[in-house]
Structure 1
Amino acid sequence: MTTSIIPKFEVLFNLQEHSAGTTVTKISPDGSHLLSADQEGTVIIWDLRTGRSLQRFNLSTSQGISAAIWCPVYPNEPAEAFAIGEATGRVTIYRRLQATNYDYASTLEAFTGPVEDIAYDPRHRRLAMAGDGCLKLFGLNGAYTMSFIHSTTPREQIARSTGFYSDGACVFVCFLEAQHITCYAINPWAVQFDGDLDTRIGCAVLREGGELFVSNLKDGMDVYTFPPRAIPVRNARFHIDRNFPLDVAVATSGEFAVIGGEDGHARIYNTHLGVMDALLPHGNHDSLIQHVDVYTAGRRTIIVTGCADDTDGSLKVWVPVARSRRILGASEAFRHWASWGLRYACLVIAVYVATLVVFKWLSRLIVTTLSPTNLPMENITGVRWRRVAEHILE
């Protein structure tokens, strides 16, 4: 997709195996797999080509899955491993060996509270983790063992979002209620930017080389330049009542972003036009569609939306409406307008014929009325009208 026109989307799969609200939806870097988790600690790996669940396991000691990220060490195996962050502060990595199921690889107690967010830089094999009011950085080796690199000084506010930029040379962390963002260069470690945004930060995602998209827990989504100024350059407004942190996901192409909602819909934001372009209906009018993700590569686009209601962990996989269906829709529209045009043409012809018949009938009436037996010949005006009528009847 290279234009400002965002395609229409339709549901490809409706996935219903979670019995509790979803907490994570992450598409693998190659778009082949989906990792989802719920409030009861259940993790499911899905095949996005068939919609089938490939593996399911439950972290029985977990208080819920709070974050996750795909973290392949080898570029030729983009769905080889993923990291899961729990509400207890534990981070565990699972890897797949020779196309078998995913198995435990390593774990560490990163925080005392929930792991709020995890980001991965495949170029330098680094994991950034937000939690306990700070940012922590870990390295990853070929055996998927994590090694500590750096930690920032903890703050009293919630460290809500993190991400890499500048090809993994830098990292940022955002704080929820403090409306604060800090950006760091990693090697050597140094502060690049430190400042406040205009609103709270429910979720922050950076489009590489572009803009920072922030769900603000107040009235929608804000778009900032990066490094950000205090005031956003654009806003996308929609109604918010419950102030849940809504996920934001930005297409790799940068043409659109997807944000969750609390009215049963996710929304597509057109970055070129600066407007909400479409709604993706997922649940009831009050369903919390909190978690979203998007994958784009060439002409392939996948959007995943997840419901976070207590007893509804449904997932929907969205793809652009097939070209054949778009052509069929255009053909149906053409047939509709052609049929309408034919009916209109028939109506016009009928009116014309009726008008002609009435006009000829009136002309005969005029000839009869103005005939010599009824009108003196010396009445020049009458004679002229009679001749006109006779000429019409010819």
Structure 2
Amino acid sequence: AGDDATLILWNVQTGEELQNISRPFSGPIGAICWITLGLDNDPGFAYGCADGSVHIYRRKEDSAFHFCSMTMAHNGSIEGLTFDPIHRRVASIGSGSPQVWTLSVVGNLTSIVPSPPTSTFIARSINFCDNGSSVLVGYLESHELVCYNIDPWGIKWAKTIPTRIGHATLSCDGLNLVVSNLSNGIDVYAFPSMDRERSFCYPITRNFPLQVATALQGTIIVSGGDDGACLVFDRCSGVTLSPLSHGKGELFHGL
């Protein structure tokens, strides 16, 4: 997803485009996460937009994803989204403030943090950790990662890393944190020790915060791009795989 308010779904193994969704009325799309809904664990996704709204989509019998709900989640742009399948919760970050939501079987969101903390720093990412009992928030300028316990809400720990945090995502096994460093590419850290294990460098022509994600059980790292395509890396070999094109010259924010 990118500045053109268009979301495209691909098969990451074949590069095949599966679906194209355009919703310009909510502004550019800044964050996306996969979710499951209902008793049958139907696949779906949530995406957040510049107007602070979060949109839920679901796939039922056919292969296409269909709209379920829209929630005005934050006063400013949605910077990050994540899903916890254990507790069926969605966490969002926007306007420097995290929020956690329960996800109903029909795709509606209900907030559960009554007074979420705010920060003067830009909060760019949020991840569930500790089996869904905590959320990890990354702040761009301060290089800081803060882990919050959800119930009851409170700070568990805080650490800093050497670079800014354009975006960060936990691997599916929870053992690594992948960070877009806004310097020369992507860094992979051991979690929660935050020892840097590997870097994936690539040329940056326009230095914007771009989302990163993992796929195929963490063997693939995907990064947004500044030239209309996202970058795909083999995590083990470090080889850059074929990019996925979104649109000519568009910033590619959400994955």
Structure 1 and Structure 2 fold alike (TM over 0.5)? yes
Please give the residue correspondences for 1:153-192 in structure 2 after superposition, counting only pairs within 5 Å: 153-192=117-156
Task: Please list the CA deviations of residues 23-77 of structure 1 after superposition, one character each: whole Å capped at 9, or x if unmatched.
Answer: 2xxxxxxxxxxxxxxx3333455678894645x5532422222222222124744
Conserved in 2, the CA contact under 8 Å of 1:198 and 1:232? no
Which of 190, 198, 202 is residue 162 of structure 2 equivalent to? 198
2:208 aligned partner = 244
Q: In the TM superposition, what is the alpha-carbon distance from 1:96 to its structure 2 partner?
A: 4.2
Alpha carbons of structure 1 residues 257 and 75: separation in structure 2 relative to 1, 3 Å: farther
Which of 60, 84, 87 is residue 50 of structure 2 equivalent to? 87
Compare the two structures and name the one with the higher strand fraction: 2
Q: 1:40 aligns to what SS in structure 2?
A: coil
The one-letter code sitting in structure 2 at the alignment partner of 1:178 is S
Compare the two structures and name the one with the higher helix fraction: 1
2:101 aligned partner = 138
Paired residues, number: 248
Which of 88, 104, 110 is residue 125 of structure 1 equivalent to? 88
**Under a length normalisation based on structure 2, what TM-score does the superposition of the two structures give?**
0.81
Q: In the TM superposition, what is the alpha-carbon distance from 1:249 to its structure 2 partner?
A: 2.5
Structure 2 residue 225 is matched with structure 1 residue 225:
no
Task: Please list the CA deviations of residues 318-346 of structure 1 after superposition, one character each: whole Å capped at 9, or x if unmatched.
Answer: xxxxxxxxxxxxxxxxxxxxxxxxxxxxx
Q: In the TM superposition, what is the alpha-carbon distance from 1:227 to its structure 2 partner?
A: 2.0
2:62 aligned partner = 99
Task: Please list the CA deviations of residues 164-209 of structure 1 after superposition, one character each: whole Å capped at 9, or x if unmatched.
Answer: 1222122111111221111122223232211221110112111233
Task: Please list the CA deviations of residues 83-112 of structure 1 after superposition, one character each: whole Å capped at 9, or x if unmatched.
Answer: 221110011223345438644432221112
Which of 143, 149, 154 is residue 112 of structure 2 equivalent to? 149
Rg (Cα) greater in structure? 1
Gaps of 5+ in 1: 1-21, 24-38, 283-304, 314-394
Q: 2:162 aligns to what SS in structure 1?
A: coil
The one-letter code sitting in structure 2 at the alignment partner of 1:160 is R
**Under a length normalisation based on structure 1, what TM-score does the superposition of the two structures give?**
0.55
Alpha carbons of structure 1 residues 261 and 155: separation in structure 2 relative to 1, 3 Å: same
Of all paired residues, the percent bearing the same amino acid is 33
Q: Report the Cα distance in structure 1 between the residues aligned to 2:72 and 2:80, rounded to whole angstroms.
A: 14
Please give the residue correspondences for 1:207-226 in structure 2 after superposition, counting only pairs within 5 Å: 207=171, 208-226=173-191
The one-letter code sitting in structure 2 at the alignment partner of 1:92 is H
Conserved in 2, the CA contact under 8 Å of 1:41 and 1:64? yes
RMSD between aligned residues: 3.1
2:31 aligned partner = 67
